[in-house]
Amino acid sequence: MLTEHGSSRSAASAPDPLRRLQPDHAELRHRPLRLLEQGYRQLCSRCFNTEVAQLAGLQGFEDAKFEAVGLADCTGELHEFHFRTHLFGTGVALDAFELRDGSPAGYQFQIIGDPKDDLMVLLGRLIEKMRRALSCKHLTDDAHGPQIADQGVVRGRIEWDDDRGGRVPLLVIDGREIEWDEFGRMFEGSQFKLHIADKSEEL
């Protein structure tokens, strides 16, 4: 999967100029990212990572390009995941996401590692995390629409809802978009316990 091999890397503390780097997290690996440095410069993800590595003193860091991977969920449905590496000085994030209309959507996963880590090992850990998440469904469908599955636990992601102007969140559960009002109807009359975690954490 790794088409460009990394080499040994050395890490140093991130200098102040890193604070001026403003990546647009909605952009894909081959689309521009923005670098704020006396104005904006358009950078591809690879160039952005190169800039961060230079500013952070990571002399041996090399970006990696991974091919898309298909993984089946517990119902047998196949999901195609694309990957993006994002270096942020003190760490490196590896994201996996589905694409819809050219933008990340559906199932999305992230894992954080050290810039000195072997990216292939990090990829292996991410795929294992993805397999665990795909091994269960939190929603079922009946005549009344989506319902909470038997285990009574729901895991998902909170997103911005363009159709509602951001007034209420949009939830992504089992890789599908669920409106906030629709989610509330599933739990009407019930108690709940809410646990919020960073997207790189595993719930």
Domain boundaries, the chain: 16-134, 140-186
What are the φ/ψ torsions at residue 21 (nearest 5 degrees)? Answer: -80, 125
Residue 28: pLDDT band with limits 50, 70, 90:
very low
pLDDT given at position 22 = 40
Element (H, E) at 42: strand 40-43
DSSP SS3 for 186:
helix
pLDDT in tens, 117-167: 888 999 999 999 999 999 999 998 888 788 888 778 899 999 998 888 888
Tell me the C-alpha to C-alpha distance, in Å, between residue 142 and each of 137, 147, 155.
Answer: 14, 7, 20
Enter the pTM of the model: 0.75
pLDDT given at position 15 = 36
State how far the Cα of 117 lies from the Cα of 64, in Å rounded to an integer. 12
Q: Are 58 and 10 in contact (CB under 8 A)?
A: yes
Least confident of 38-52, 106-120, 155-169: 38-52
155 versus 10: the higher-pLDDT residue is 155
Find all residues with CB under 8 Å of 5, minimum gap 6, and list them.
Answer: 62, 64
